[in-house]
Structure formats: structure tokens, C-alpha cells
Structure 1
């Protein structure tokens, strides 16, 4: 079962998550000489990343990558890489090593083999995977009703190319296997709509219905969830 942190608002949750991430990264550096984190995009992580940017003493020993990415140019507003570069990888944090998902291939399916090689070369297990969750219960780019969902849930590869059923842009995503090849999973839930989806997920049911269950309904990796209005 996840460990739940109840917060008065999303700003407090973001600050708490950033402090928790920084502490774990510091511990990883002390123990192994390197720390690894995979980040989600969207609106919710932005204040976390802005706070985290100034929270670590030595970013040169941190590898930063993504949970998923839209197959768009990294200068475009929809790019998760752009979000991470604009918010986290500033000042001292620019010394971190960033491993992108998007490469020069024409589409996500052609680009997946190169991305898979890049991700296989990372030091696994990752220290932290910071997930997001959509109103449809998707996490990473593991979408309900996506043609690639079954493969994303069962494959032993680290990455998978996905065409979302409704959202724009092809995606590259971590698989369930990769998400669960981590030491810590974090999730932020903000607002009543997301809380209702979270409650449905925690009530149990098929993972394919609400893919966030792949993280919430397992005991192999500790999960912490920050919940705010």
C-alpha cells in the first residue's frame, strides 16, 4: 500500500516532494556515487522541479531522465525535455547529466531502438520515478485502450513507443517493467477529480482499466503519494 502524505495545498506538496527527492538523491550519491531520477511532464511537476533545482549540493553526480516524452522537437512547448531544462536544469543543476527520450528519428517507433539502448545503459534500478496520473488513470504514456498498452504492461524492455487513443503526438514511454525497476515511486494527486481517480484505482481492478494501478497496487517498490486539494 502507498504511503500517503496529506497536504493543505499543492504548493506545500511540491515543496515536500522536492525536499524528499533531494534527501534520497543525496543518500544515493553517498552510497553509490551517482543518483538517478526519471521525471514526468505536465503542469503538476513544474513547482517541484523549480524547488528541487536549488535543493541539492552536487548535481554533477545526478542523472536526470524522463518517464515519457511526446515525439516533438525539444524546443516545443509540449516537450517534457523543455519543461525539465527550463525548470530543473538551471544554475547549479545544469551540471546534471540529462538523458533525453526524443532523438532524431522521424517518429517514436523508429526512435525506440536508440532510446532503448540509451536507457539500458543507465544504472538500474533508478533511485526515483516521479509519476503523474491523468484523469483517465494513465501514467507515463500507458493509456487505457491504447493499442500498445498490453505490451507496455508485459514487456521486459525499458521503453515503448505509443500512440495515445485521444491525446496528441506519438509518445515514448517507460514500460511498467522500467517503472518498477526503481527504488522509490512518487506520485502527486491534486484536486477532487484526480483524488476520485486515485480512490478508484486503490479500490482494485484491472490494471488495463486504470494503468496507474501498475504502481499503486504492488508491493515490490515503495510508493509515496502526496494528496492535496
Structure 2
């Protein structure tokens, strides 16, 4: 097992630590080992575990590393932080990504709760999705978020029409319908867990690659402007432990 590097406190003092690795494969392995440990502990204490993951290209090696970890997978529930409103046969579907790279081998025994439910539009699918999400064993044991080059996380985009609703701590429900973002993001409607739900976890982890993203994260931690840089919802709070895994 690779040892984690010594934590470095981020500028706002709210983050648990910054874990670095020399390359993406090593980082993915390290993150998988930590997440697996959290899930084992959750199952031992409560009989089940809830893991919330993100899509995109960055988590693929992490998914593949986690899928090989020895876990009581049948007691693990996996869901997504967000989803493009596309069937899981579409190449841009996050559910397709999870099934192809995480739910393999023994990990296929995990219960997967996708966010897309076939409704014509995310807003029309929200009632059924909310009913599904409310039955999950919250708080999550681990929520893993990425970040786009524009500072978005999950499908919460800077200055988006639905962002104020999504960021509200008093917002109803657990998810929000998201209008199609502009390119280079995949320009299709989406659904995203709201900020209150993303923070309804025992451990938050950010998985980032590239110096530009680390610089942007530090800027978000310094400004705490959630409208301009939604990832600030994770780094500008003190209620949930937040660790950053970066290479």
C-alpha cells in the first residue's frame, strides 16, 4: 500500500488536508484505499454504507481501483452526485461510466441507484427521483466531488439560473433540475444533488488533477463566492470534513 503524503492545510483552514501523488494512477489507488476503509467502517458500525460518486474522466482510474478492493459490496449503496439527462446506453451517461468501471467483479454486488429515470426532462423526473433518494441511508459515508475548469462541481455551474436554489441550505428536496450548460461542458440538461445533500455526508473528498485546478480551488477557498465558483460550497464550510486528493 502506498502511504498518503502528510496533510497540508488549505488557506481557509477548513480543509482536513491536501493529499498529493506523483501521478493519476497512484492518486487513484490512494483514494480507493481511503474510501474502501471508510466504507468498511460504515458497514461494521451500521450494517450498510452509502457512497456518492461523480462522473467525468478523472474518476475512471479511481473507480477501477476501488472495484478491486475487498469490501462487503452487497451492503454498499452507490449513487451519483449528478447526471446528464441521458439513458445509460449513451456514451456521456455517468451511470454508464459507473457500471463500466466501478460495478465490476465483486463490486457488481453493490446496489446502484442511478439518477436518470427516463422522464422526458429532468424537471418531470424529479418527483420520482426525490422519492428514490429519500429512501437512501443518509448521511452518506463518503461523497466524492470533482471540479471543472470553470469551478463547477456536480452539475452546479457558475451563475446558472438554478444555482441559488441549489445552494440554499433551506431548499426543499435533495436534487435540482439543471439547464444545459455551455460548451465545453456536455450541453445537455442534467439533474444534480443540491448543496445541502452533497454536504449530508460523514466525509467529503475532492478528486482533482492539474495545477490549474488546485490554483482555482485555493482561489475558491479564499473568496468563498459560491455563485462564481460553486466548488466553494465544499471548501467554505466547517461542518463536514473535507480532504483533497490531487496530482
Q: Check whether TM > 0.5.
A: yes
Q: How does 1:103-118 map to 2 (within 5 A)?
A: 103-118=117-132
Hey, what's the Cα distance between the residues in 2 that align with 1:178 and 1:156?
A: 10
Q: By how many angstroms is 1:205 displaced?
A: 3.3
CA deviations 1:127-176 (Å, max 9, x no partner) are 01110100110001110121100000012421111014313111110000
Match for residue 213 of structure 1 among 216, 224, 232: 232
Aligned to 2:93: 79
Q: Would the aligned equivalents of 1:26 and 1:56 in 2 still touch at CA under 8 Å?
A: no
Match of 1:20 in 2: 34
Q: Which moved more, 1:163-172 or 1:33-42?
A: 163-172
Distance between the aligned counterparts of 2:70 and 2:216, measured in 1?
33
- Tell me, yes or no, if the aligned pair for 2:181 and 2:188 is still in contact at 8 Å: no
What is the TM-score of this pair, normalised by structure 2? 0.90
- TM superposition shift of 1:210: 0.5
Unmatched segments (≥5 aa) in structure 2: 1-13
Pairwise CA RMSD: 1.0
Asked if 1:90 is matched to 2:104, the reply is: yes
- Aligned: 1:123 with 2:142: no
Q: Deviation per CA, 1:91-116: give whole Å up to 9, x if none.
A: 11111000010002111110111111
Q: How does 1:1-229 map to 2 (within 5 A)?
A: 1-2=14-15, 3-154=17-168, 155-166=171-182, 167=185, 168-228=187-247
Alignment partners' CA distance in 2, 1:7 and 1:103: 37
* Residue 57 of structure 1, CA deviation: 2.7
Query: Would the aligned equivalents of 2:143 and 2:205 in 1 still touch at CA under 8 Å?
Result: yes
Q: Distance in 2 between matches of 1:13 and 1:34?
A: 26
**Structure-2 separation of matches of 1:83 and 1:110:** 24
> TM-score w.r.t. structure 1 length?
0.97
Q: Which runs of 5+ in 1 are unaligned?
A: none
Q: How many residues align?
A: 228
